[in-house]
Structure 1
Amino acid sequence: MSNSYLKAAFALLMSREDAALLREAEKAVDLLDTNGTDDELAAAYDTLDERFRAVFPPKGDNRFESFLELFEDWNFPYLDARIAIEDAEGEDNVRVTFTGDQFGVDQVAKLIFRACKAALPCGFAWSYGSDRLKVGDFGGGCVVITDEGIQWHTTQGILERAFKRLDVGAHEGLDGFVLATRDSTHGLSFWNNDNGFGSLATATVFTEAEAADFDKPIANDEPEWLALPAPTAV
């Protein structure tokens, strides 16, 4: 018999408005925990702050469904995290700490994406383990949250990609492709979906499937796909 843990501890700087919205989210969890009827929950929803109702607009008979979308199991809508807010007088932002021994990685990441726009871009790491040295019971990962969405990375995924690079040529295109053209004055230019050809720093990265389906733009020099190199190990 062993005990397993999924742990995380990190802090973010965000606006007071976003921090207040986290408190409203905690209130919403408490209201849902009462197992009230749809009518009772609908009335309780109206007691929450106006900004909460704007971010999680009323949906469904109990009006909480847009908030419940944060959770995999709507019958157990718990954040599984302790949230501590440190509001230092005179500072522009507040420091919010998230901790937990059985941390709700998915729901916390989704809550930050929906409710804490002032904190973006941001991210956090998490780990899982056991109090016994049991093979396969250790690992972790990280979450990167931007205005565009949430990216999930696991240590197992990182390990698998590292092994793929051991095969001859397997690294080619593993990290995506960029579309390049050569200019007689500026040298190589790289395509980005927002502004056309420009610097490598702003290039759009395509998967192999996306590159195959992409209609190349017309340029003086025929654009060609270049595979990105493997990232430098740190």
Structure 2
Amino acid sequence: MSNDLPLPFSKNRTQEMLAFHRLLDIMDDLREKCPWDKKQTLESLRHLTIEETYELSDAILEGDKQEIKKELGDILLHIVFYAKIGSETGDFNITEVLNGICEKLIHRHPHIYGEVKVEDEEEVKRNWEQIKLKEGNKSVLGGVPQSLPALVKAMRIQEKARGVGFDWEEDHQVWEKVEEELSEFKAAVENGAKEDEFGDVLFSLVNYARFVGINPETALERTNKKFIKRFTYLEQKAKEAGKNLSEMTLAEMDFYWNEAKSL
């Protein structure tokens, strides 16, 4: 079969392509006819994309599948929007975006598209980081975005260091480091340099969480949501009692807090 002939597609794949083509056509219409869409730039869309990403994150944590589907659509729209603007300036287009990620994935998965053999997930990660260095990255940590939230950044830094073999061997070693940093922080509270030592405590806790298979960002956000839910219940009970929270005793607040925990 000639390489110039179109590839056969399954019915589902054809439907996917038609749906994507429909989105591209709608984007063309909006960019030409809608006053708001016509004004947008790469820079003006940036903060909106960040917001959409956080909304997707919230939907995932809530386990709301329909909301996840909706937010994925919003993010896909943003990708198409950026590509449309790029095509107008002649810098890039959606075809180049799609082919670019396809080529990158093929290149970075030689165990799938080449002759490389791997034993497990960790070996895949190590190969990935080595390939990135060969592609021109000056540092293993160079791919960590500077604007990432600190907790997420700490996790990514540690994951990338692990990818080239720089890591602890046993989880008890990591926990001993946590205890060491806690001890140093306690001393610093009394003698100074509290912020630096507290940062070390957080970094070591992120390290331990990663080592035992916990995503610290997800864990902390679930705790945030849990606190908000219980505090909102506390506010509701205070309102039902005709009081402001500031008028309640700690004993009263503890009662309703413990009641919220059992819900």
TM-score calculated relative to the size of structure 1: 0.26
Computing the radius of gyration from Cα coordinates, the structure with the larger value is 2
Structure with the larger strand share: 1
Structure with the larger helix share: 2
